[in-house]
Amino acid sequence: MRAIGIGLIGWGTVGCGVIQTLRDNAEAIENRLGAPLKLLRVADLDLDRPRPVAVPSELLTTRAEEIMNDPEIHIVVELMGGLGAARTFIRQALENKKYVVTANKALLAHHGNELFDIARQNGRAIGFEASVGGGIPIIKSLREGLAGNRIDTIFGILNGTANYILTRMTEGGLDFDAALGEAQAKGYAEADPALDIEGTDAAHKLAIASALSFGTPIQFDAVYTEGISRIDPLDVQFGEEFGYRLKLLAIGRNTNGRVGMRVHPTFIPKDHILAGVSGAYNAVHIHGNSVGNIMLYGMGAGMLPTGSAVVSDLMDIARDILAETPPRIAPLAFLPDRLKEIPLKPISDISTCYYFRFSALDRPGVLSKISGILGANEISISAVIQKGRETEGSVPIVMVTHEAVEANVRKALEEIDRLDMVLAPTQLIRIENHETQADD
């Protein structure tokens, strides 16, 4: 029986998950595929660092070229991350007529369109299930399971580290740094955790998932992104008092002929289905015109869940190799010449509800001044909390609004933050009240 040869570049957390999955599940994999997946080489610049999963020394090398030039290797798995050498290796592998599997969402968000073109020119495929949602088969669902739909919404929690931090701050009372330290220790965070905390990692994933959903090229630069580093425990507590849970949400919508993509901290009602998604779990709601609403849920990060996604790509590609057929499914679900640039909807045009926390002097007339400016900008208040007296110079005044247009909100807050009685920039957190708002 013909074995499918695998070369792996990057012996890190996900690499260990792939190696362990290939080893522990070899029998089940072979029984499904009809051929074994054989790990022939593992390349990493540092072979001495302790790892949770060992590799026989005869497979190890510090030279990725040995993988590129090995005729026994059919599929190159790129798990080193980053935008530099990883891009070069993937190009080389494709030009050497090898198939590629990668978990590198940053690379695909920035250069996926180019890499998919190179793959097509060489009659090869790039598998990238592990790039979005860790172990959850989101790519396969969008590309195959939901192929009969027009998809208008993709909405959810796409970063395990940020979700872990917010969960531990909400439920465990931890401060931000302690929660981040825990997420790093569990292997959820990126090598540079700023990518998780500032929302960039979720934006990479949203850009990829939106392209697959809406039939556009990947447009990472069009994703509006805010992270969770500016979140104060006070906001988590006030949100709880209003009946909200704080999540870093990724929202992609294709409505009325425009595509909007945004990632930002978001309050959702505590009884919202996503409010119960905690720790490093991810969840994605998708709305298709035939299927209606569906939700996919599972571990969005971690060694074995992400390894599971990589191995599913290996098996899909191995089936094509064994059947000697060219790749049958377009990488972004739509045929490359049918991808369309759809006009973009900027963040200033969205309409949603808002949470504001003003840091103001506790003086007569402050509230009426602030609400006057909001009213003049067509922002209607639905609830207000002011607790305690002034400490350290200011008092937090917290408001929740009815739906308002973002451009009006920004104009009003600029005016409010210029008032002498307002001592610090106002905290703004958007609120999503429904599972999938039809249009915002």
Binding site for ligand HSE (CB under 6 A): 134, 159-161, 188-190, 196, 201, 300-301
Tokens of 108: 């695909």
Q: Give the sheet arrangement for strand 126-127, strand by strand.
A: 60-61, 37-43, 4-9, 75-78, 99-102, 126-127
Q: Which is nearer to ligand HSE, 300 or 396 (CB)?
A: 300
What single-letter amino acid sits at 14? V
In angstroms, give the least distance from the CB of 101 to ligand HSE: 15
> 238 has which bridge partners?
none
Alpha-carbon dihedral sign for residues 409, 202, 82, 84: negative
Work out the end-to-end distance of the chain between its first and last CA atoms, rounded to an integer number of angstroms: 55
In angstroms, give the least distance from the CB of 215 to ligand HSE: 24
Closest CA to 140 of 150, 154, 130, 125: 130
Q: Which is nearer to ligand HSE, 124 or 205 (CB)?
A: 205
Cβ contacts of 201 within 8 Å, gap of 6 or more: 105, 106, 158, 159, 161, 190, 195
**Residue 205 known to be catalytic:** yes
In angstroms, give the least distance from the CB of 145 to ligand HSE: 21
Point out the catalytic residue in the list 98, 205, 247, 345: 205
Q: Which is nearer to ligand HSE, 156 or 396 (CB)?
A: 156
Tokens of 222: 């069009």
* Phi-psi group of 81: left, alpha or beta (phi > 0 → left; psi -120 to 50 → alpha; rest → beta): left
Q: Which is nearer to ligand HSE, 200 or 377 (CB)?
A: 200
The string over 405-431, giving b where at least 16 C-beta atoms fall within 10 Å of a residue's C-beta and e elsewhere, is bbebbebbbeebeeeeebbeebbbbbb
In angstroms, give the least distance from the CB of 292 to ligand HSE: 27
In angstroms, give the least distance from the CB of 185 to ligand HSE: 13
Q: Which is nearer to ligand HSE, 186 or 319 (CB)?
A: 186
**Matching residue, tokens 């089940």:** 28
Kindly list the catalytic residues: 205
